[in-house]
Structure 1
Amino acid sequence: MARRFRGEYTQKVDGKGRVSIPSRYRRVIEAGDPDCTGGKPPEFIIVYGDERRKFLECYTIESMEALEDEIDALPAGSEERDVLETIYHGHSMEMSLDDTGRIVLSKKLRDKLGIEDEAFFIAKGTTFQVWKPETYDAVKKAKTEAWLEQQPEDFDPRILLSRNRSE
């Protein structure tokens, strides 16, 4: 089984847009890049999406290839395939980690998210997301907390997993 991203981190962003990828994430990026050999820097994919998307979604090379295989399986010319190709091919970019584990978030990406001096990284298993910390708190964290508040006091989230198992 492929390694997975875990944890959340707030990282400093300098004036040139340089930010360190959390070290635990770097190991997963390296493991998910089959070409990361012989001193070649590990690469991954950032999907920035359209204007509605308030975060960057980051994939290892292997996880993006698996997603691309699913997109390729859709009927050629279908609206679904066209939309997914636009999002995951057109609104994405390849990134390389430098030898200190940093990347440069372009001005375009920083402006899109409103990132100035900090970026919030949150693991999503096979991917991780990058947010402006305040946006994450206002959008995603608030939504998760509101949903959890609707659950019984003794709610165990693992019950959601059993709903997906065949009986």
Structure 2
Amino acid sequence: MNIGMTALFVTALSMAGLALASENSLYAGEESREIKALSKSEIDGLLAGKGMGYGKAAELNGYPGPAHVLELGDELSLTATQRQETEIVFAQMETAAKALGADLVAAERALDQAFGSKKIDESSLSELVKNIGDAQSRLRVVHLRAHLQQTEILNDQQISKYMVLRGYSRDGHENHHKHHHGR
């Protein structure tokens, strides 16, 4: 077999392997999950009140999150008052997020159980999914509100430094926090 034929043969085998691999679902192995739509780490994060990306719209647009502000407190030169106010914002957010995370996990569990028991129809499907959406939206508001509150606590220099410390681009983040009083 010459080199050209060998290359063609190897390419054909590779493509056949890819075709077989693509027949397997990306979800393979997830059918054994407790709640099919959520991984164990997602459930744990929701129940612990973690951010789970719900504050990303604020975070990436220059509105710091209280958990990260507390982690970076020394680098941001937080005053005692700023640290105390940030701890309050974080505690309120975490408490609300834990409760709403539990609501979301329960709503996802109800949907999963309805499908698992084969006792679901158009009407119950709509209601179950609406419950999930409501829990998600309330949870997202809690996280985004904490970012808004946190921005009111920091001054412009601290916000700029936060963005740098978190590794975000500075483009578009300068002088847009006109509504906070800073300290």
TM range (shorter): under 0.3
Larger helix percent: 2
Structure possessing the higher relative contact order (Cα contacts under 8 Å, 6 or more residues apart)? 1
| TM-score, structure 1 as length reference | 0.25
Larger Rg: 2
Larger strand percent: 1
